[in-house]
Every structure is written in C-alpha cells, then in structure tokens.
A and B are shown apart, each in its own frame.
Chain A
C-alpha cells in the first residue's frame, strides 16, 4: 500500500513537472514536439533552458518578449542597425538553423566580413548546447506558418534537417 502511494506520488510529481515545463514553454506557440534544431528534435526541457538563457543573454537587446529594440528598422547614428525582433514580426525566421547558429556563435561580423554590429560573438560566452537551446526557444515562439517557412529554408541550406 505504502509502495503504491509512493508510486502514485512519483507519477503526480512527474506529471506536474511536465505541466510546469510545458507551461514554461508557452512563451511560444509551439509544443516541443513541433520544434527541431539542426535536424534534431528539441525537448521541452531544452526549450525551458533556452528561455532562461535568452532572458539572461539576449533579452536586454532583443526584448523580453522578443520584440526587438524600438524603431529597429531605423539605423542608429553610428550607422549600425538596432537589435531586430526575434518574433514573427522580424526576419529571424528567414534564416536557416545553420545561419542562426553561426551568427549567434560568431557574431554578425563573424559571418559577414566588415559588417559592424552590436551583436556579440556568443561563442565566447555560451556553449554550443546553450546557443542551440536559446535558438530552440526562439523557434518555439513562432506561429506555424513562420516555423514551416523556416524549416524549408533550413532544409534547402543543407545539413539542417
């Protein structure tokens, strides 16, 4: 009897954890099962971790709600562009997974020679797994249409899915 109670409690805790994890993912529109990154399935735990990483490293420029900096289409005085939104109103979903990973790891200047940007090279700050998790979180926030388009772009870019 006592063993059954323990088992039931364990199941209840696991279920609750899953619900909490799923709720955390609901910064976005997608279930973890709908999100892949570089061709690999993404778990709800990765997305939840990505949300934390995003809040700690990305939100200060790209916005707590992925909305980007104000007036982000207008160039700054120094000629650089403000941080764009990562939600469906921006152009992040027009980039392949490979592209997003490279830009995040190397910075925009790392993949576009001579391009001046305030974007850091996060390869010096985050591990590859952490970068992937943050990008998986961002992808999880996109509506289905944007996710479908981005999946096609990733597939056509090779090695993405």
Chain B
C-alpha cells in the first residue's frame, strides 16, 4: 500500500464534515417526500464494511455486496439516511445491521437486499457505530452522537439506554467505533471496546464504567490499584475510525486510524502498525482472523496474513 503523510485530526474532522453533509442531504430528501420505508433509497454514504459469511458488504457511496469471484452487486440501501457503520454476527448469517447518519438503525435479514427500520426508542440522532454482541447474536449496541451507548436485546426491535459517553480530557466524547470482544471481564460478562476521537476505551457489558485497556480483566485493574504501563499502545490522542475483534480469535483486534491500520494480538494491550495508509473502515473474516479487508485512502485492500501484506481489491 502507498504511504501517505496525513495528519490525524484535520483528516478526521474533514471526514466527519463530509458525513454530516451527506447525512443532512439524506435527511432532507426524507423530509421532502420519502418516509422511512423498505423501498430503494438514497445511496449509502459509508465508508463502512463487514463480512457476511464469505461475502463482503460495502457501504462507500453506494451499498454493494461481493460473493468473491462474482464481483460486486449493487444493493438497495436502507431509506432515510446514509450508512455510517455496519455490523454482522457469524451466528446470524444474512443479518446486516446498519447505523444511519439520519438517526436510527436499519436491519436486513437477507444479506442486504431488503431493509427494515429498527429504531423504536432510539433518539433521533446520528448512529456513529454499531456492533453485535459476540456472545448474544440478537443483542446489538448502537452509539448515538451527542448521547451515548444504547442496547437492544431483540435484534433492534426495542432499545434501552445503556451508558453515557466516556469522559476523556475533561469532556464527554462521542464513540466513533464499537466492537464486542468475547473475552471475560471478570464481572460475569464480556467487553465492549470503543473508539473515540481521542483513542481507545472499553466498558464491561454490565456497564459499570468506561476504562482504559490494560492487561487482564476488570478485576485485575481494581486489584492493582494503578494503571498498567502500556508498552505499545495506539498513538495517543488519535481518532479511531473503525475497530473489530475477530470472532474466531477475540484477542485479535484491528483498528482503522488516520495513521493507518493497526493490529493487536492481546486484546489491545500491544499494538503494531500494519499499514501507514489512512484507514477509514475495517472488517475481519468470521472464521479466519488473518483475513482482513479495509477501506483506505487508496481504496479497498485485503490482507490474508494478518495485515503483513495487502493487495488492492477490485471494485468492478
């Protein structure tokens, strides 16, 4: 992949502005005459990407699906607004969850061909990130801009407020990425990792408090009584555009940052940079933790060796 020397914050701000602009356009279109429906709708803005089994779902300008050698097939995007994030679960093949710029969550149960609004109870604000609980395929989390983390236990049919936004550098920070990580918290559940404009954080799925990522579980953090020295964290203060945990190997994390693609093999304690091309979205194969696809500043790229080598992925 080609190297770029892009600074972090300005790029992130520019991307957000573009998203906000596209979201406003989509919302405006909806107000003029297109109520949220199942019909074909304005294109998906993205960038977002997810695996659905062996297939890829891509939201970048338009929404499309690739089964592999057969190329890309255009899909009808959910009505009402562009897609900011996508999530799937290996236990629910064909179910695609989309967080929308105009607010709300849309769910497809047929691989992205048809969409249904599932936003009952959610505030009408941009959904910046979605993820499906690794241990409960019908549980979905959605991050709402300016609000916090919401939870559905019935595949989006109903929603409940779960947790306020993390408090970082003397202010609440929006969540820019979400990943359910199937590792025990020591508190009877698993972790939800999140990206913010200032870096990585995580919360146990009992929602007691946002906390820094450090070795061990939540109990270890309390027992030690002091923050662990992190030998190789993600770049301090850099925005996280996307974050995934491999379903087949939950300690394996990939993060898409303005500085590039980063990989961790120990649930986020030690990170290594796998690419220095600006990364916007990332997805990991459900059964092969080394198989990663990313949307970068140079286009779509694939690695089959955990990010060591990348090849451009044709869109035609």
CB-based contact A113/B227 at 8 Å: yes
Contact of A73 among B161, B188, B219 (CB under 8 A): B161
B170 within 8 A of A: yes
B77-132 with Cβ < 8 A to chain A: none
CB-based contact B227/A156 at 8 Å: no
Contact of B164 among A74, A103, A156 (CB under 8 A): A74
Residue-wise interface mask of B (194-214) relative to A, using a CB-CB cutoff of 8 A (1 in contact, 0 not): 000000000010111101000
A102 within 8 A of B: yes
A3 within 8 A of B: no
Cα distance, A71 to B206, chains bound together (Å) = 17
B172 within 8 A of A: yes
Contacts of A103 in B (CB 8 A): 222
- The contact size tier of chain A is 20 to 34
B226 within 8 A of A: yes
B35 within 8 A of A: no
A-B contact pairs, 13 of them (CB 8 A): A73-B148, A91-B187, A94-B188, A95-B187, A111-B222, A112-B209, A112-B221, A113-B227, A114-B227, A115-B209, A149-B188, A152-B188, A157-B186
A104 within 8 A of B: no
Which 7 A-B pairs have CB atoms at the shortest separation, nearest pair first?
A94-B206, A94-B187, A75-B164, A91-B206, A91-B208, A79-B167, A111-B222
CB-based contact B225/A94 at 8 Å: no
Contact of A75 among B162, B167, B219, B227 (CB under 8 A): B167
A99 within 8 A of B: yes
CB-based contact B219/A91 at 8 Å: no
Known contacts A73-B163, A153-B188: does B206 contact A111 (CB below 8 Å)?
no
CB-based contact B208/A95 at 8 Å: yes
Contacts of A102 in B (CB 8 A): 222
Nearest Cβ on chain B to A67's Cβ, whole angstroms:
16
Question: Which residue on chain B has the smallest CB distance to residue A80?
Answer: B167
CB-based contact A99/B222 at 8 Å: yes
Contacts of B207 in A (CB 8 A): 73, 91
CB-based contact A81/B188 at 8 Å: no
CB-based contact B188/A113 at 8 Å: no
B189 within 8 A of A: yes
Contacts of A44 in B (CB 8 A): none
A140 within 8 A of B: no
CB-based contact B211/A73 at 8 Å: no
Known contacts A95-B187, A96-B219, A149-B188: does B225 contact A113 (CB below 8 Å)?
yes
Contacts of A99 in B (CB 8 A): 219, 222
Contacts of A81 in B (CB 8 A): 164, 209
B14-47 with Cβ < 8 A to chain A: none
Contacts of B227 in A (CB 8 A): 113-114
* Interface of B toward A, CB cutoff 8 Å: 148, 161-165, 167, 170-172, 186-189, 204, 206-209, 211, 219, 221-222, 225-227
Cα distance, A111 to B219, chains bound together (Å) = 10
Contacts of B162 in A (CB 8 A): 73
Nearest Cβ on chain B to A46's Cβ, whole angstroms:
25
Contacts of B204 in A (CB 8 A): 94
CB-based contact A79/B170 at 8 Å: yes
Residue-wise interface mask of A (66-109) relative to B, using a CB-CB cutoff of 8 A (1 in contact, 0 not): 00000001110001010010000001001110010011000000
Cα distance, A84 to B221, chains bound together (Å) = 20
Contacts of A111 in B (CB 8 A): 222, 225
Nearest Cβ on chain B to A93's Cβ, whole angstroms:
8
CB-based contact A153/B187 at 8 Å: yes
Contacts of B163 in A (CB 8 A): 73
Question: Which residue on chain A has the smallest CB distance to residue B163?
Answer: A73
Cα distance, A149 to B205, chains bound together (Å) = 14
Cα distance, A79 to B172, chains bound together (Å) = 8
Cα distance, A117 to B234, chains bound together (Å) = 27
Nearest Cβ on chain A to B183's Cβ, whole angstroms:
14
A132-158 with Cβ < 8 A to chain B: 149-150, 152-153, 156-157
Nearest Cβ on chain A to B130's Cβ, whole angstroms:
19
Known contacts A79-B171, A114-B227; 10 additional CB pairs below 8 A are A73-B207, A79-B167, A91-B187, A94-B188, A94-B189, A96-B219, A102-B222, A112-B221, A112-B222, A152-B188
CB-based contact B222/A153 at 8 Å: no
Question: Which residue on chain A has the smallest CB distance to residue B149?
Answer: A73
Contacts of B222 in A (CB 8 A): 99, 102-103, 111-112
